[in-house]
Amino acid sequence: MPEIDAVRLNFSAQNLLLLNVTLGVIMFGVALNLTVEDFKRLAHHPRPALIGVCSQFLLLPAITFLLIWGLRPRPSIALGMILVAACPGGNISNFMSLNADGNTALSVTLTAVATVAAIVLTPLNLSFWGGLYPPAASILTTVDVPPWRVFKTVALILGVPLVLGMTVRRLLPERAQRLSRWMQGISILLFVGIVLFALRANFQYLIGYVGIVFDLVLIHNAIALGAGYQFAYWTNLSPQDRQTLALETGIQNSGLGLILVFNFFDGLGGMAVVAGWWGVWHIVSGLALSFYWRSHPVPLLSPQQP
């Protein structure tokens, strides 16, 4: 098979549109749980959410960069790892936090805040950290990815569904609540469908190259989950908040990552395989961790108690 940096996965404009719409529907479902009051409460008690945003958009990209420098993967794989780390948390983390008896309200709030912040921080992190690693920087230079174009894409995919969902919640609260319960039940299936659909026409590449990124993704994901938990511990958050931050940091929106790969990197093999395999694995690791915490409940402590 050709070298992974030379592989370009095939993805038609129609398939890309369907992928965009599917991810938008998932984000719409998350937004059905949000109100303006949620953001007002955040303004009065911002500390846990601010720590969570720092964990997602500062800590994880920095740790990813150090991991890449230590392991020296192929350029397209390294850029795929940076891209995944630059994406906001995935909305299935809300379900996992609920299942783990973590702070679900904080999880939903972080999803919303990270989604809005990603409009700016995802392209900035991708350009900044990718530019600091010379092999990945050469790819960024070759494909010429303007942060403004990434900004517009992320705003369309995440920002618009967020506003629409919150509007429905405000105008039709009872209907939004019923619809939200239904959409939560299918969110994981939709997300798995996104990944499988994106890679179905390139199954031979996924099978051929997943072995190259298998260990990298497992290590990267485990570090992300552990770093989120440890960061919350160091900042003296409650055990429930620690669980939530671990999941929010380790469960990344790799569906968005795939869209960016196909939109701006012409389906670059290493990036697509990393994002695709992350999208499968983080469901396994996140659910396993949430069920472990569910069966090993922690005492309810105040945020001041470590």
pLDDT band of residue 97 (cuts 50, 70, 90) is confident
Quote the CA–CA distance of 116 and 138 in Å, as a whole number.
29
DSSP letters along 110-152, please?
HHHHHHHHHHHHHHHHHHHHHHHSHHHHHHHHHHT--HHHHHH
Please give the torsion angle defined by the CA atoms of residues 293, 298, 302 and 306, in that order, rounded to the nearest 10 degrees: -90
Mean pLDDT of the chain: 80
Residue 169 pLDDT: 87
Model confidence band, residue 12 (pLDDT cutoffs 50, 70, 90): low
* Mean pLDDT value of segment 27-43: 74
Q: Terminal CA-to-CA distance of the chain, rounded, Å?
A: 51
What is the fold, at CATH topology level, of the domain defined by 4-295? Na+/H+ antiporter like fold (1.20.1530)
The residue ranges of every structural domain in the chain are 4-295
Question: Which two structure tokens, joined as six digits, stand for 287?
Answer: 């659910």
pLDDT of residue 127: 86
Mean pLDDT score, 102-108: 79
pLDDT > 70 in the chain, percent = 78
Per-residue pLDDT tens digits for 259-292:
788 777 877 778 888 888 888 788 889 989 999 9
Higher-scoring residue by pLDDT: 184, 258: 258
19: which residues sit within 8 A by CB, 6+ positions away? 194, 197, 198, 255, 258, 259, 262
Please determine, for residue 144, whether its predicted confidence score (pLDDT) is greater than 70.
Answer: no
What is the per-residue pLDDT for 264?
A: 79
Query: Tokens 């709030």 belong to which residue?
Result: 109
